[in-house]
Amino acid sequence: MINPAAIAIHHRATLFVMIVLIVLGGMLAYGSLGRLEDPEFTIKEAVIYTPYPGATAEQVEWEVTEPLETAIQQLKQLKEVRSQSRAGLSIIFAEIQETYDKETLPQVWDELRRKVTHAQTALPPGAGPSDVNDDFGDVHGVLFAVTGDGYAPADLTEVAKDLRRELLLCQDVGRIDLWGLPTEVIYVEVDRAKLARLGLDPQVIFDAIRHQNTIAETGKLAVGAQDVRLRVTGDYATVADLGDQLIGSGPNGRLIHLKDIASIERADRDPPDAVLHWNGQQAVGLGISTVSGGDVIAMGDAISQRLDDLTARMPVGIQIHAIAHQSETVKTAVRGFELSLGAAVLIVVGLLLVFMGLREGLIIGAVLLLTILATFLAMHAMGITLQRISLGALIIALGMLVDNAIVVAEGTVIKSHQGKTRVEAAIETVRETQWPLLSATGIAILAFAAITLSKDMTGEWLKSLFQVICLSLGLSWVFAITVTPALCVALLPSGKTDHGTPHVSLFYRAYRRFIGACIDHRWISLAMVGGLFMTALWGFGFVRQDFMPDMNRPQITIDVRMPEGTHIDRTTAEVAAIDAYVRTLEGVTDVAAFVGRGPLRFLLTYEPEMPNSAYGQLLVSLDDYQRIPGMKAHLTPYLENHHPRAITSVDAFKLGPGGGAVVARLSGPDADVLRSLADRVKEAMWANDNSRSVRTDWGRPVPAQTLRLAPARSREIGVTRPDLSEALAMTASGMVAGVYRHDEDLLPIIVRPPRDQRQGIDSVGNVQVWSESQAHWSPVDQVTDGQSLRWETPVIHRLNRARVLRVSCKQKTGTTDGLLRELMGPIESIPLPEGYTLHWGGEHEEQVEANTKLMSNVPIAFTAMFLISVMLFNSLRHPLIIFLGLPLAVIGVASGMLLADKPFGFMAMLGFLSLAGMLIKNEIVLLDQINLERAAGKSPYQAVTDAAVSRVRPVSMAALTTVLGMTPLLWDAFFAPMAVTIMGGLTFATVLTLVVVPVLYSTFFGVRREAAANRKAAARAARAN
């Protein structure tokens, strides 16, 4: 059989050249690896917007949302469909199954568009067209606010557009979107009283503007050999030209121009769709996303350099502020992880030097550094970026990377002590251990395989964890059986040293006696271990549960939700008051306030709010992320007491997927029943002292003034329902008559009455309606049977075409899971009518889904691990011994989580599963050594004790390097629970493994001390006689 050690030792020059190439390649690869704060994952969701002006939420639901959802559900790739039906607008979210990645999603979006396009024929007149937005998941990692003292919003808009043109040329910039732009319009305010006195139809205004400003085809004439295009001018060059537009003539024959009956003004749209303030100043937002596969840091540096160049050309007083700058965040995050990786390497190498001696320590340390550099090279080849997950994976694997090298180096030293030459010792050690070490390494890798097999969003986000661990551990085995023996031959002391066994110190003698006593009293030993295990299971019930921890990003969000239907100006005033107070607090550096909708998605895990005039969000930047708990504790009661009309929520950003809220999802057909059930759920939530920000996603009913058209009188007068609707629309917010061209911009021309004729419900009855057939004006009261104020649902949510009403709250202290457990009893005890259901959504649902997907793959991974064990030992008893030792990890895990006061969440569960691979690896090394000792002719008892003694140092060192190598992760919010799980579990389990595995082996194989065995044999013989 080919021995890799022999090849490496006899071809040292070739090996040396390869090592040099790997070192140089690894260093170059490390410098060119892409850098991100968090790994990319694809948001498999598109949003379909469909307007239906004038319709109520229920009309939108049944006439627009329902037929569109029916068409969308025919998409075979669909996972679920959610919708919001608002007055005049349908918003549908189509989420695609996890099996589709970013390469196949474009085809899915094309098919979705075809389905939506085909469904347009089923929509009522006046509805649509639908707009499919499949860029909903784009991340604008760089978000700027443009401000300027004394500058009008239109001026800021022009500056932002100029910046967009310039910055689009920067390296790796994908797209740039503007946020909070004030929409410039031309207001034509017409006094209806004047129109009535002159007997003019308002339609003549619309017709005159449309006919004057429409561009139409004029054709071409052949002049000789040249075609000459004909062109007609005459559109409005200035606002004054619009005022000079001829409308008609009065009763006295005098010509009437538009300026005679209307005031004309160029202004920002009132009310605005969205508002942005930066530290109290009006601003315009600029969001920049990176091209797919681009370098975030390179893009950020290019943008910063370009902004520096543009500063001299900007108007005086214009300033650009960074709301979020991903490249700076990435630099800080990656630098922090690089320091953690460096610290972990130093810890591991230091341990090796202290406990294994200078030469062995240097050998294993050199192999460790070579493995890391080779891993960087492989990551570059596979396109894996440096980010939180991949660097964390390296730190997690760090201790395991030296395991194989330790076994080979230790075996070489022992065989040298037994009289063999260095070459003989190295070759023989590799021959004996290469396949057990490969099996153990494969099992350690398989322990992480459940991640990559999980096809949900969390699995995609953590994919690089498995990839890096698989690469690094695989390379560690290759170098352990090639580079390590070559270095041992080169660096270990020369000559044969026949000293017999090296394990003669006091520690080894004490351990040998202890193992012997445990084997002699095996049932007592196993009972004691069982007692510890049961105690740990009981203690696990006191461990806090959580899904994903908060980021250490020095920013918080303050969500402000006014009652549904609140005018955006009122919401802006409320947000401005909160903004002004927050900026007075110590530690607050900047505040960006968004009103009308959430900001552009500037973090992959951030979910922007849909358009809503009653919504505002403040993005508060702090000088230190450690201020976040104190800031939340202070602001939560302050906002509840000083802003009672608003539902507010102060939150940190979450690491990874997960909403961080308790959500009770009620489903059923009737809106009134759902609201009644929701009220009872809210009462239960408010009754808990730890709950805050209790709300429903349907909001409170909003008032609507209902006018009942009188059929007989309206027919007699000649007024139709559309005539009445147009008159009311023009009075309320105005109607678009055409567009005004200004450079590349098209400004809507909106006709509306003066402000004093647009205020108050009482004036609605006096609104004049034009009768086309009778050619005269009539008041609204004359064509209606009265008015009434009614309350209607502002928004209706649906999930998979069924109505759902979500009631949510957040915890003041502790974890979301802890609050959920307290609320489950009271809420689930609420009786539900037939046809109505209650489900738990929010973070709990995402956690259950992620855990289910992960755990569904665990049997596959563990079956593969078991089969490898069976094939390695060609036995069933050996794998049974291995897997019976795994539950011992619970003892250390429970102790570690309780002592460190860390929650057991998704990452901790992942750590618990990966712990199995680490333990199995150690157990395989120990059991294989027992087999080797027995094959050498030793008695079973001596083989067990000698193997345990000979493997106590490599097994302990492997565990110690893994445990202490993870120390830097204890200060990382994301990896800390996982690190505590592995550190605690591996520490206790390794100690117990060195005891329990020999005891279990002795039990399964009937191994007894020779003297005791002889006495029992004699006793059996005597009884037989």
DSSP string covering 795-844, please? EEEEETTEEEEEEEEEESSS-HHHHHHHHHHHHHTS---TT-EEEEEHHH
Per-residue model confidence as pLDDT tens digits over 759-783: 667 777 778 787 777 777 788 888 8
Closest to 426 measured CA to CA, from 928, 926, 12, 927: 12
How much is the average pLDDT of 580-591?
A: 95
DSSP string covering 970-982, please? GG-TTTHHHHHHH
Name the CA dihedral angle for 468, 470, 476, 478, rounded to a multiple of 10 degrees. Answer: -130
DSSP annotation of 148 reads: E
Of the spans 468-477, 894-903, 909-918, which averages the highest pLDDT?
A: 468-477
Contact (CB, 8 A) for 954 and 406: yes
Q: Is the pLDDT of residue 1006 over 80?
A: yes
Closest to 775 measured CA to CA, from 203, 352, 252: 203
How much is the average pLDDT of 589-610?
A: 89
Contact (CB, 8 A) for 84 and 60: no
Q: Is the pLDDT of residue 828 over 90?
A: yes
Relative to beta strand 89-96, strand 45-51 is antiparallel
Contact (CB, 8 A) for 657 and 833: no
Name the CA dihedral angle for 785, 786, 791, 796, rounded to a multiple of 10 degrees. Answer: 40
Task: Please indicate whether residue 882 or residue 498 has the higher confidence score (pLDDT).
Answer: 882
pLDDT-wise least confident of 84-93, 447-456, 574-583, 714-723? 447-456
How much is the average pLDDT of 573-602?
A: 94
3-state helix, strand, coil in the chain (%, to 5): 55, 20, 25
- What does the mean pLDDT of the chain come to? 86
Residue 495 has phi, psi (to 5 degrees) of 90, 160
Distance CA 86, CA 698 (A): 10
Name the CA dihedral angle for 403, 408, 414, 417, rounded to a multiple of 10 degrees. Answer: -140
pTM to 2 decimals? 0.80
What residues have CB less than 8 Å from 490, skipping those under 6 apart?
Answer: 12
Q: Is 1009 exposed, middle or buried (0-12, 13-18, 19+ CB in 10 A)?
A: middle
Of the spans 175-184, 480-489, 508-517, which averages the highest pLDDT?
A: 480-489
Closest to 379 measured CA to CA, from 863, 16, 33: 33
Q: Which two tokens stand for residue 669?
A: 């057909």
Q: Which two tokens stand for residue 837?
A: 């259901």
The count of C-alpha atoms lying within 13 angstroms of the C-alpha of 50, restricted to the half-sphere facing its C-beta, is 34
The pLDDT value recorded for residue 338 is 79
Per-residue model confidence as pLDDT tens digits over 705-750: 888 888 888 888 888 888 888 888 877 788 888 888 877 778 888 8
The pLDDT value recorded for residue 501 is 52
The single-letter code of the amino acid at 350 is G
How much is the average pLDDT of 891-899?
A: 89
Distances (CA, A) of 718 to 135, 201, 207, 765: 48, 14, 21, 18
Q: With bands split at pLDDT 50, 70 and 90, how would you rate the model's confidence at 592?
A: very high
Q: Report the run of H or E that residue 895 belongs to, with start and end.
A: helix 889-900
The pLDDT value recorded for residue 373 is 94
Three-state secondary structure along 2-33?
Answer: CCHHHHHHHCHHHHHHHHHHHHHHHHHHHHHC
The single-letter code of the amino acid at 212 is Q
Q: Is the pLDDT of residue 657 over 70?
A: no
| Packed helices 326-356 and 403-417: angle between N→C axes, nearest 10 degrees | 10
Distance CA 47, CA 137 (A): 10
The pLDDT value recorded for residue 720 is 84
The pLDDT value recorded for residue 958 is 78
Q: Which domains does the chain have, with CATH numbers?
A: 1-28+357-498 (1.20.1640.10), 44-136 (3.30.70.1430), 186-262+703-792 (3.30.2090.10), 503-542+875-1025 (1.20.1640.10), 552-653 (3.30.70.1430)
The rounded percent of the chain whose pLDDT value lies above 90 is: 35
Measure CA 532 to chain center: 38
Q: With bands split at pLDDT 50, 70 and 90, how would you rate the model's confidence at 1021?
A: low
Per-residue model confidence as pLDDT tens digits over 500-558: 455 667 888 898 999 999 999 999 999 998 998 899 889 888 888 777 777 788 999 99
Q: With bands split at pLDDT 50, 70 and 90, how would you rate the model's confidence at 578?
A: very high
Q: Is the pLDDT of residue 367 over 50?
A: yes
The pLDDT value recorded for residue 1016 is 54
- Taking only Cα atoms into account, the Rg of the chain, rounded to an integer number of angstroms, comes to 37
The pLDDT value recorded for residue 494 is 66
The pLDDT value recorded for residue 427 is 92
Relative to beta strand 745-752, strand 184-190 is parallel
How much is the average pLDDT of 647-657?
A: 81
DSSP string covering 220-235, please? EEEETTEEEE-----S
The pLDDT value recorded for residue 1024 is 57
DSSP string covering 557-592, please? EEEEEPPTT--HHHHHHHHHHHHHHHTTSTTEEEEE
